[in-house]
Structure 1
Amino acid sequence: MKKHYRSEKNCLNCDTIVPDKYCPSCGQENLELRENFLHLVLHSVGHYFHFESKFATSIIPLLTRPGYLTKEYFAGKRASHLNPVSMYIFISILFFFLFTANSNSNKKDIIKENAAEENAISKEDAETLKNIVGNTVSEKAGDYTYSLLDNAQAITDSTGNSSKVNTNAAPTTAEGKKSSLTLGGDNAITNSVQTKLRKVMDDDLSSELFKNKLVSHLPKMMFILLPLFALILKLVNYRSKKFYVEHLIYSIHVHSFLFLFGSFLIILDWMLPFMDDWIQLFGVAAILWYIYRSMRNIYSSSRWRTVYKFSLLAFAYSLLMLLSGAIVVVATLYTM
């Protein structure tokens, strides 16, 4: 949208003379004060995310040229592209929105299927009960009921030791359950987690909802792992003279790609649900190639040296993800 600049050359913020569009002292743009609502909203959003010309020059290279934005950033060409942190925030918001929508959609489908199954079972049981009642109720129903009660009392009197057997069996069963719960150790926390997990997994609905809620926490976990990813990069490239902040900027660009590419995969999966397995396979292959290629462009190592560093990075990062995942699993169990 075209901007409307003031004809006056004084800055309204600091009263400095403005020779062009921006104040040379405070940097405020010399725009007209009276704007319509649409222009105000678009200008505010565009100013916050730097959409005007930087969006295309940042997003397209992020997807198609691994490591390019990081090299441009440290070459001093920063005004031509989105700020790494701002870009990361915008892309992560988009990804979280799509990811949450996808998780909620799956949750609703699960609840609907479970409700339909319960209704179907209830109708079937009702029909069976109706047939049984219709076939068995007769004029002699009262006499037949009393006969059953008399027979039951006779059996109880003739087998007086049966209650004793059942009484002795109960502690044995409880003891067996107790021993099975303590197989993982005598730690009370471990036993509590095992019991909670077994209870959730025994119920189909709770199991599916637990899995969906667990998956919904994974993007949040990436926020915590981002600086750790940069630390692993610094350790893997210990001979490099790069500072930690350089590894961090590269990590931000890599995770921005992961979020943006993941958003496209979610949309593609919505459009082509019958190709879900192929989409996931393509996504994994593309991500592995992107990280390998970006590492080679940033750290200028040989092909096999890059493969070696990539393997170390993947191993260490996987361990961190497993540890973080275990923490998230426990937290999810006790927040359902």
Structure 2
Amino acid sequence: MKKHYRTEDNCLNCGATVAGKFCSECGQENLELRENFLHLAMHSVGHYFHFESKFFSSMVPLFTKPGFLTKEYFAGRRASYLSPISMYIFISIVFFFLFTANTNINRNNLVEDVTPEEKAEAQEIIGSLKGPLSGRALEKAGNHTSLAALGQPTGVADTTLQAETIGEAIAAADKKGKDELRIDIGEDNAFVQSLTAKLKKVMSDELSLALFKNKLVGHFPKVMFLLLPLFALILKLVNWRSSKYYVEHLIYSIHVHSFLFLFGSILILLGWLLPSLSEYFIFLGVLGAMWYIYRSMRNTYKGSRWMTVSKVVVLFFAYSTLFTICALLVVGATLYTM
């Protein structure tokens, strides 16, 4: 449908002179303000399909042509594709939504796998173990020992002796475990001991453990966003002979992470459709990610086959180390904020 343009040549957005249909200063289209509903609707639909065409023209090469979008970006052909930041934000939102939903589904399945009879049996076993070995029972056993020494029946004394023996064994085992723990983590490392105590406290309570896992999942997007520039820095160090600037490595890093999130989203959906093959999908995801990084690096940095393989291996171990460090920091911070 034909658009109605204003006859005036002043831009209503920034006030600059408009020579054609678009303002050369701000880019706003010089359309007539008073349009009927049909024109307004068609204009909005046109903008939508324009975004949709850019979306698909970006998603398809991102998935099927490793390194293509990065080369197009720095070749100046950017208008036909989504910007790297916008694409990363959109795909990461979809991925983390699916990832969180998948985590909750797995947690519910684990809870549902335990039948009420099994829960009752477990509670009964725990109760039977706690009763005879509790501090109150041992205290009563000590009182019975004193009565036996004053001439009470030997059956009571024997029972008391058994209770004392069990209590001493438990105390000795507990003391041995604590001593071994001190040897492992060091007596002077108060931070590690405090962290260990908090972790034990969280693991001992189902509600605290569920809250801890939810917070960890919530921090995962922040960790990945932090790893983006670090991944680009590793690329800069690995390709130290390259003449590329850091921002070029950063754009490549954004495109790689966008693919990983897109690929991960597809694998999560496949896991929901075919739950019996979920383990194979994880294996497929690792292989697919390694192959994609290899092909994209080869297309972007133009290295030989074996040189690219060696760079991918170094990149993998360096990135895994950084991810582990960040994960441990997040775990520690989450424990101290609970």
Report the TM-score range of the alignment, normalised by the length of the smaller protein: 0.7 to 0.9
Q: Could you tell me whether the CA contact under 8 Å between 2:6 and 2:31 is conserved in 1?
A: no
Contact 1:96 1:219 in 2 (8 A): yes
1:229 and 2:231 correspond: yes
| Alpha-carbon contact 1:231-1:244 (below 8 Å) kept | yes
Contact 1:5 1:21 in 2 (8 A): no
Aligned runs of 1:106-255 on 2, under 5 Å?
106-112=106-112, 117=116, 121=120, 157-159=147-149, 169=168, 172=172, 175-183=175-183, 184-186=185-187, 187-201=189-203, 210=212, 214-215=216-217, 217-255=219-257
TM-score by length of 1: 0.76
Alpha carbons of structure 1 residues 313 and 46: separation in structure 2 relative to 1, 3 Å: farther
Q: Which amino acid aligns with 1:83?
A: S
Alignment-mate amino acid for residue 295 of structure 1 = M
- Residue equivalent to 1:137: none
Give the equivalent residue in structure 1 for 2:303. 301
Q: Which is worse superposed, 12-21 or 239-248?
A: 12-21
Task: Quote the residue 1:310 is aligned against.
Answer: 312
CA contact (8 A) 1:265 1:279 kept: yes
CA distance in 2, matches of 1:45, 1:284: 39
1:166-214 Cα deviation digits (max 9, x unpaired): 7994875664353133132111111122233344445677667755654
Query: Is the deviation greater in 90-99 or in 50-59?
Result: 50-59
Instruction: Give identity over the alignment, percent.
Output: 53
Aligned amino acid, residue 13 of structure 2: N
Q: Is 1:76 equivalent to 2:66 in the alignment? A: no
Match of 1:65 in 2: 65
Aligned 8 A contact 1:9 1:17 in 2: no
Q: Counterpart of 1:224 in 2: which secondary structure?
A: helix
Structure 2 length-normalised TM: 0.75
Please state how far the C-alpha of 1:249 moved relative to its aligned partner.
0.7
CA drift at 1:285: 1.0
Code of the residue aligned with 2:100 in structure 1: it is T
Cα distance in 2 for partners of 1:274, 1:25 equals: 57
The residue type equivalent to 1:283 in the other structure is: G
Query: Aligned residue pairs: how many?
Result: 305
Seen in structure 2, the aligned counterparts of structure 1 residues 165 and 120 have a Cα distance that, compared at 3 Å, is closer
RMSD: 3.9
What pairs with 1:246-285 in structure 2 (closer than 5 Å)? 246-285=248-287
Q: Give the AA of the match of 1:179.
A: D
Q: From 316, 321, 325, give the equivalent of 1:319.
A: 321
